[in-house]
Amino acid sequence: MFPNALGNPTDADNFHHRHWKPLLGRAGLPDIRFHDFRHTRATLLLTRGVHSKVVSEMLGHANISITLDTYSHVIPGLGDMVARAMEDVSS
């Protein structure tokens, strides 16, 4: 994803210490993992109504159940939909 100056894969430890941590410091951000941005992206998309199947594909998950198991708590109105469906079934 991030090649070094020679075009080879970047060493993860080197990237973390020489680039990532200084970048966070300059941006005034806390010491967060690079992977946390992946979670942020998924959460932001789901809270804005992007279909979970689309988010799952963007994340490269093998199936949608991985995405739903991880992020279903942030999908707006999910509990309300379940309550309405149960009301519809019982009436």
For residue 91, pLDDT over 90 is answered with no
Q: Do 40 and 81 share a domain, yes or no?
A: yes
Given this model, what pLDDT does residue 42 score? 92
Q: Do 44 and 64 share a domain, yes or no?
A: yes
80 or 68: which leads in pLDDT = 68
Q: Do 85 and 53 share a domain, yes or no?
A: yes
Q: Do 83 and 39 share a domain, yes or no?
A: yes
Q: Do 50 and 18 share a domain, yes or no?
A: no
How many residues are recorded in the chain?
Answer: 91
Domain around 26: 1-32
> In the chain, how many domains are there?
2
Ordered DSSP codes for the chain: --B-TTSSBPPHHHHIIIIIHHHHHHHT--S--TTHHHHHHHHHHHHTT--HHHHHHHHT-SSHHHHHHHHGGGSTTHHHHHHHHHHHHH-
Q: How far apart are CA 10 and CA 58, in angstroms?
A: 23
Q: Do 42 and 16 share a domain, yes or no?
A: no
What tokens appear for 29 in the block?
């951000």
Over residues 15-41, the pLDDT tens digits come to 888 888 999 999 998 988 888 888 989
Residue 13 pLDDT class (50, 70, 90 cuts):
confident
